Structure 1
Amino acid sequence: MASSRLPKVFAVKAIPPAGLARLRQHCQVTVNEKKGWPTREDLLQGVRGMDALFVFPFVKIDREVLDVAGPQLKIVATHSVGLEHIDLELCKERGIKVSYTPDVLTTATAELAVSLVLATARRLDECFCAVKEGVWGTCWENSLWLLGKQISGSVVGIVGLGRIGLAIAKRLAAFEVSKIVYTGRTPRPESAAAVGAEFVSFDELCKQSDFVVASCSVNESNKNLFNREAFKKMKPTSIFVNVARGVIVDQEALYEALASGEIGAAGLDVTNPEPLPPSDPLLTLPNCLIVPHIGSLTDTTRKIMCDLVVDNILAGVEGRPIISPAF
């Protein structure tokens, strides 16, 4: 087939070399090589006349983008589990396929959640700073200096016992916790049985748990789920970990709860907005550890994700059923 007849693909930012090479065997590929996320102008210029879009979260695929892309657009393939950045209803209305990457982030995200639990429980960020700033060795007279918290014997609360929540629960159970409780829209008896978890209300989970881990999907009903009232129900020693989405947390309320000692600490992989501005007050708190949305950021997981996006694009432009459709 002549190169001029190959399907056209636009990648909104750089993608792994192996995935790019596979795409270029079958398609004309244009990649936005600029550092950081594309500007709106770059996005609109890049999508014009494309048959497929290789996209990432935080790049909005809305009516304007779809209009500019043109009627030949066959598939929008996102390198993510989240789909909130894509106008799914409009894509469905126009017959544009949408694919995503479910079931491949579970292990990496669960491992990151456990990392945040450990890092906040043992105050590792403060410990690193103490070493770097020369404080280490000056406070031995205080036996409670950098006093941490054990996971063993604690109550762990999981908000959202789906694939990721269950994987987190299984890993934390190995620390010999005293109890695992969970909450969500409906009980999940089979998943719960695998870790001996008990279904409770959200309020009860907040009251009981020493560690509260959010791993739920986002919907209109749980935006700002973790608000002032929720933090007031938690123990003053509670540690809150969020690997779900930033929008489920009222960050002003979280700041107040952490600054006042209403809760003990927080570990966040997700914030609202992302990236979080360096001036955000949460970054001034020693008991708040924030990492830059790295839940799926392992070499193994990112390779699998990229391969799945490429497989979906090739199927979409060739008129075959895509592997992981969003609808």
Structure 2
Amino acid sequence: MVRPKVVIARHLREEVMRLFDRPDLDVVAWPSETEACDRNWLLNNIAGATGVLVMLTDKVNAELLDAAGPTLCVVSTMSVGYEHVDVQLLARRNVKLGYTPDVLTDAVADISVMLALMAGRNVRSTTNIVQNGDWPNYPWSPFGFCGPQLSTNWIHSTRTMGFIGFGRIAQATLKRLVPFGFTHCLYASNPSSLPNPTRDAEVAQKYGLREVRRVALDELARESDVVFVLAPGGPELYHIVNEQFLKQMKKTAVLVNTARGTLVDSEALAKALREGWLWGAGVDVVEGEPKVAADHPLVKEPRCVVLPHIGSATTETRLGMATTAAKNLIAGVLNEPMPVELKMTQ
């Protein structure tokens, strides 16, 4: 009996790779965890494969599918996003797609709150002062190094969180902000989805908020003390945060993007920070990443914290993602229900 061939485009640590130690699979794996899979290696080895497990850095396009041939029936990606996958092409060729959405919810929510705190409290610029040995040049002063407080306080008894996108990660972030004393939640979501005031009222009651309300982007920008960009990517949402949006934000507000770099116009955000339209920003994703050098407009802005896309980078989360991706691949190849399959239409 011919065993189905599966190709794995990255080493996933021994505890995950052991899942492939089975007599009913012929496994071909890229040997390195840290070094990206060579494209030519992948194209050469995927020939005749039934399934392939890829990373965000591996383009799943006509070139790859043609190299695999008609035997390919499943692609498994170790990611929640699938911009690197030609979904329509997979649908036309009846190739299933597995992905890993739920595993990273808590990790990304954690880092979203972290970035809000870092941006508001000037962590980047003040850390640089210490690292550059300049602290002695900054004698203590009553309002030195000050920034806006995230939590409610004697000046601001109400705080409003705003979300562009209100899915799992947004609601996990909301949950983390409640202990800071936030009282209001505004969100903007897909215009094609119907408003759900009953759900909103239930969320408000669950977390003791005065309101949870769906609003237009303009109101979200004007009223929010911190805006979290947590929408999916896609051409219809390209640069949804632009000059028009940023000009309406409070001067004390903070913008956080832990979703997709293409959702925020980097040039517009850099300009907004320079001219004081908002207080600060924290981004874990940047359009064009990883080609983000020291001269990038956001990197040059002292009130912008830029992280190299580490939202899911906890050991527990990445092991969970890798395990889900492996199980998706194995189940798909053996014609069993995949733990998490993206339902596609042609």
What does the per-residue CA deviation read over 1:19-66, in whole Å, with 9 as the maximum and x for residues that have no partner?
Answer: 112113343332334654334433322322222111111321011110
Equivalent position of 2:203 in the other structure: 194
Give 1:91-240 correspondences, 5 Å limit: 91-153=90-152, 154-185=159-190, 186=193, 187-189=195-197, 190-191=199-200, 193-195=202-204, 196=209, 197-240=212-255
Equivalent position of 1:295 in the other structure: 311
Matching residue's letter, 1:149: P
Matching residue's letter, 1:228: E
Using the aligned pairs only, state the percent identity. Answer: 34
d(CA) in 2 for partners of 1:259, 1:64: 43
d(CA) in 2 for partners of 1:136, 1:143: 16
Give 1:304-323 correspondences, 5 Å limit: 304-323=320-339
Equivalent position of 1:31 in the other structure: 29
Matching residue's letter, 2:8: A
Q: What is the CA distance between 1:314 and its match in structure 2?
A: 1.2
d(CA) in 2 for partners of 1:8, 1:191: 47
d(CA) in 1 for partners of 2:303, 2:119: 7
What SS does the aligned partner of 1:212 have?
Answer: strand
d(CA) in 2 for partners of 1:47, 1:274: 27
What does the per-residue CA deviation read over 1:248-297, in whole Å, with 9 as the maximum and x for residues that have no partner?
Answer: 11111111111222221110011111214213221111111111111111
Q: What is the CA distance between 1:169 and its match in structure 2?
A: 0.9
Kept after mapping to 1: 8 A contact 2:47/2:69:
yes
Give 1:43-58 correspondences, 5 Å limit: 43-58=42-57
Matching residue's letter, 1:28: D
The runs of 5 or more residues in structure 1 that have no matched partner are none
Kept after mapping to 2: 8 A contact 1:207/1:234:
yes
d(CA) in 1 for partners of 2:275, 2:138: 24
Equivalent position of 2:59 in the other structure: 60
Q: What is the CA distance between 1:303 and its match in structure 2?
A: 1.6
Q: What is the CA distance between 1:300 and its match in structure 2?
A: 1.6
Equivalent position of 1:6 in the other structure: 3
d(CA) in 1 for partners of 2:214, 2:94: 40
Kept after mapping to 2: 8 A contact 1:108/1:297:
yes
d(CA) in 2 for partners of 1:208, 1:325: 38
TM-score where L is the length of structure 2: 0.88
Matching residue's letter, 1:263: L
Kept after mapping to 1: 8 A contact 2:78/2:321:
yes
For residue 242 of structure 1, the aligned residue among 257, 281, 286 is 257
Moved more, 158-167 or 129-138: 129-138
* Number of equivalent positions: 324
Kept after mapping to 2: 8 A contact 1:210/1:235:
yes
What SS does the aligned partner of 2:256 have?
Answer: strand
Query: Against the structure 1 CA distance between its residues 188 and 59, is the aligned structure 2 distance closer, same or farther, given a 3 Å change threshold?
Result: farther
Kept after mapping to 1: 8 A contact 2:120/2:279:
no
d(CA) in 2 for partners of 1:55, 1:256: 37
Over aligned residue pairs, what C-alpha RMSD do you find? 1.9
Q: What is the CA distance between 1:191 and its match in structure 2?
A: 4.9
d(CA) in 1 for partners of 2:38, 2:274: 36
d(CA) in 1 for partners of 2:130, 2:51: 50
Query: Against the structure 1 CA distance between its residues 192 and 113, is the aligned structure 2 distance closer, same or farther, given a 3 Å change threshold?
Result: farther
Q: What is the CA distance between 1:141 and its match in structure 2?
A: 4.5
Moved more, 104-113 or 153-162: 153-162
TM-score where L is the length of structure 1: 0.93
Q: What is the CA distance between 1:148 and its match in structure 2?
A: 2.0
Equivalent position of 2:155 in the other structure: none
d(CA) in 1 for partners of 2:73, 2:232: 27
- 1:78 and 2:94 matched: no
Moved more, 147-156 or 227-236: 147-156
Matching residue's letter, 1:182: Y
d(CA) in 1 for partners of 2:145, 2:29: 47
What does the per-residue CA deviation read over 1:83-119, in whole Å, with 9 as the maximum and x for residues that have no partner?
Answer: 1211122212222111111222111111110111111
